[in-house]
Amino acid sequence: MRATKTTLFIGVLCLCILVNVLLSKFPNTTDVPQTIDGLYCNVKTKISFSTITQNSTNFENRSDEEVLPKGSLENSVSYNSCAVVSSSHGLMLHTYGREIDAHDAVLRFNCAPTETFEEFVGSRTDIRLINTRIPGRACKKEFLNDSIAMFNREITVVRNFDAVRLAPRGIDTKKDRFRVFENLKEFGRTHPNRTMPFILIPDFGKDIATELGRFCIATGKCKKTDKSPSTGMFGVVMMLHLCNWVYVYEILPSNKDSTNLRYYYDEKAKNLKTTGGFHSFSQEKQYIRTLSLTSDQDIANTGVALLKGLNKVRCD
Ligand SMILES: *[C@@H]1O[C@H](CO)[C@@H](O)[C@H](O)[C@H]1NC(C)=O
Ligand SMILES: *[C@@H]1O[C@H](CO)[C@@H](O)[C@H](O)[C@H]1NC(C)=O
Ligand SMILES: *[C@@H]1O[C@H](CO)[C@@H](O)[C@H](O)[C@H]1NC(C)=O
Ligand SMILES: *[C@@H]1O[C@H](CO)[C@@H](O)[C@H](O)[C@H]1NC(C)=O
Ligand SMILES: *[C@@H]1O[C@H](CO)[C@@H](O)[C@H](O)[C@H]1NC(C)=O
């Protein structure tokens, strides 16, 4: 009896594995982009990009509504040439500072500083994309002090992977682990004159994750994962919406950096090469590499990849 059960169990297990293998061998071909333009069209049509505005829903609580900007980010700015500057230690192996500052807009991530690193990463920051740990748990001092440029003289955008959700009658923050929304509300009360950050709609992150999975299955270039997309990936897709041309610095690494260091500003943080960390880094890199107009050899030499903005992409 026991043996039969075990056999049955193993049989079912084998069948499941077989079905899985077959499914991954024969992907849903309706979604396979045949060309680089096809992939750009997927970014344009399958990933919904916007920020939450006062207008987004019928807010029951007026104090929730007041945290949010009136208009959306995509209706507030647009640029010709943009730089997306990663926080990678690889930036220290080049001197891209001047080149980065010459773009029409520069995007940086989280608490990445420019001071003392100008030669390598430039000095201007137009947009800063932050995760939900800020300002509750990280770079609080910079966020709260009006005389520090970081966050204060930049457009701030909050990465939102389903933490701040849009419910029929307002904001649902049950999944907001780091209480970013409550912190911003509090901050709005104490800093009435400060411009509040833009908060990405939850669908943006979810759509990126779905699109990455679809890409991996369709192309076989990567393995589908349950890990969430990194803030870097959010930033690249966001800038594709806001810019005609997007130059991505050291998200696809050059072959120059033989150290095992992670950040250009923190020599203690070790690289996550082996574990991959919490995010879908390898999938994203494949994706961005496929979108890139720059050859693999040039990326290997420079760590810079050029992508074209979505307003240049025509989709039927
Ligand atoms: C394949 O993709 C199409 C278009 O997105 C979708 O309508 C269909 O349900 C998918 N089929 C499967 C088996 O996932
Ligand atoms: C509205 O927000 C305030 C301040 O965060 C809070 O004290 C109050 O309980 C909220 N009211 C409702 C109905 O959610
Ligand atoms: C508010 O929403 C309406 C309808 O979607 C739109 O026409 C209007 O431009 C929005 N207003 C702002 C300030 O975003
Ligand atoms: C805010 O930052 C300025 C400039 O760095 C500094 O001089 C000042 O002491 C800071 N204020 C507080 C309250 O930390
Ligand atoms: C906010 O701005 C108003 C008008 O510019 C000014 O009168 C007021 O002093 C400012 N408040 C703070 C706290 O900076």
pLDDT at 231: 96
Q: Which atom of ligand 1 is nearest to the CA of 28?
A: 1
Q: Which ligand is nearest to the CA of 145?
A: 4
If you measure from the C-alpha of residue 170 to the centroid of ligand 2, how many angstroms do you get, rounded to a whole number? 11
Q: Whose CA is nearest to atom 12 of ligand 3?
A: 71
| In CATH, 40-312 is 3.90.1480.20 | yes
For residue 141, report the distance from its CA to the centre of ligand 5, in Å: 21
User: Which amino acids bring their CB within 6 angstroms of ligand 5?
Assistant: 192-193
Atom of ligand 3 nearest to the CA of 53: 14
- pLDDT for 2: 59
Instruction: Determine the pLDDT at residue 120.
Output: 98
Q: Which of 238, 240, 236, 247 is nearest to 285 (CA)?
A: 236
Nearest protein CA to atom 1 of ligand 3, as residue: 55
> Tokens 């169990």 map to which residue?
9
d(CA 308, CA 310): 7
Q: 264, 87 in Cβ contact below 8 A?
A: yes
* Residue ranges of domains in the chain: 40-312
3-state secondary structure 262-288: CECCCCCCECCCCCCCCECHHHHHHHH
Ligand 5 centre and the CA of 195: distance in Å?
12
Take atom 14 of ligand 4 and give the residue whose Cα is closest: 145
Amino acid 292: pLDDT: 96
- Give the pLDDT of the chain (316 residues) as one tens digit per residue: 556 777 777 776 666 666 565 444 444 445 555 688 899 999 999 999 999 999 998 899 999 999 999 999 999 999 999 999 999 999 999 999 999 999 999 999 999 999 999 999 999 999 999 999 999 999 999 999 999 999 999 999 999 999 999 998 899 999 999 999 999 999 999 999 899 999 999 999 999 999 999 999 999 999 999 999 999 999 999 999 999 999 999 999 999 988 888 899 987 777 665 456 789 999 999 999 999 999 999 999 999 999 999 999 999 8
Q: What is the pTM of this model?
A: 0.84
Residue among 156, 8, 94, 147 at smallest CA distance from 303: 94
Residue 27: its pLDDT value, please? 47
Radius of gyration of the chain, Cα coordinates, nearest whole angstrom = 21
Helices (H) and strands (E) in the chain, counts: 11, 9
Closest ligand 2 atom to residue 62 Cα is 1
Residue 61 Cα: closest atom of ligand 2: 1
